[in-house]
A and B are shown apart, each in its own frame.
Chain A
């Protein structure tokens, strides 16, 4: 599923982020640009981290910001940021973060296939290495389409 959702609109590499808020905002903005979420959803993504803590940093180096569907999600969506310099979220186990995978969903479980694909990426060392070696956007998109056919 992820190969159909990740296109050049929602993938950005070499992204500069001042701090975790900036990183979440930039990831969320791509969802807005792609018509997957309203502006209010992005604020809610940030509020989620403020309220419930940095548990969205789900694996070493990878954050998965998201908010509840009713907070302004319009469709199932995902965006991918590779950060130029990693940022700290305050998660002792998994900081610093250099990959931001933002998520939007319409319901509680209509995006299970997408989550399963994201889990594959989290365990894929070759994919994680792409972020560390500052791969180009084309290289990232090629990698995704090759590995999720």
Chain B
């Protein structure tokens, strides 16, 4: 699955968040392609899930959004995102399996 992390400028917080999301995915055996972006370019990028803070997330309509309370606090990020990422990943796996059958 493709995950996009988003912050205002795309050179600070979203990169930090992307690093944490990669760690979290690895620890949970979730195969995800994690990219970071600034808010303006995020609108034109394809992703299965966008992860960002509430203030920016409320302005995104094109892609499912998961909001976090912190860009850097791993515990909070896990609480805010892991269930959603897991659910999407399992769904994607199931869909791929169905196609094979």
A→B interface (CB under 8 Å): 48, 51-53, 55-56, 58-59, 64, 66-69, 93, 103, 105, 108-109, 111-112, 115-116, 118-119, 122-123
Fill in one digit per residue for B49-79: 1 if any A CB lies within 8 Å of its CB, else 0. 0000101100000000000011111000000
For B12, what are the chain A residues with a Cβ–Cβ distance below 8 Å? 56, 58, 64, 66, 103, 115
Check B8 against A55 for contact (C-beta < 8 Å): yes
Q: Given A58-B16, A115-B15, is A48 in contact with B72 using a C-beta cutoff of 8 Å?
A: no
Fill in one digit per residue for B4-15: 1 if any A CB lies within 8 Å of its CB, else 0. 000111111101
> Is the CB of B19 closer than 8 A to any CB of chain A?
yes
Residue from A66, A115, A118 having most chain B Cβ neighbours under 10 A: A115
Q: Given A53-B55, A55-B53, A59-B70, is A48 in contact with B8 using a C-beta cutoff of 8 Å?
A: yes
Total B residues in contact with A, Cβ cutoff 8 Å: 21
Cα–Cα, bound, A66→B38 (Å) = 13
Of all chain A residues, which has the CB nearest B11?
A105
Check B13 against A109 for contact (C-beta < 8 Å): no
Contact of A115 among B9, B19, B69 (CB under 8 A): B19
Cα–Cα, bound, A69→B36 (Å) = 15
Shortest beta-carbon contacts, A-B, top 9 = A52-B8, A66-B12, A105-B11, A58-B72, A58-B71, A115-B16, A115-B15, A68-B9, A59-B72
Of all chain A residues, which has the CB nearest B14?
A108
For A122, what are the chain B residues with a Cβ–Cβ distance below 8 Å? 72
Cα–Cα, bound, A118→B73 (Å) = 13
For A103, what are the chain B residues with a Cβ–Cβ distance below 8 Å? 11-12
For A51, what are the chain B residues with a Cβ–Cβ distance below 8 Å? 8
B26 to chain A, nearest CB (A): 15
Cα–Cα, bound, A12→B72 (Å) = 24
Q: Given A53-B55, A58-B71, is A119 in contact with B11 using a C-beta cutoff of 8 Å?
A: no
For B13, what are the chain A residues with a Cβ–Cβ distance below 8 Å? 55-56, 58, 64
Could you list some 24 contacts between A and B, CB below 8 A? A48-B8, A52-B39, A55-B7, A55-B8, A55-B13, A55-B53, A55-B55, A55-B56, A56-B12, A58-B12, A58-B13, A58-B71, A68-B10, A93-B70, A103-B12, A105-B11, A108-B10, A109-B36, A112-B15, A115-B15, A119-B19, A119-B72, A122-B72, A123-B72
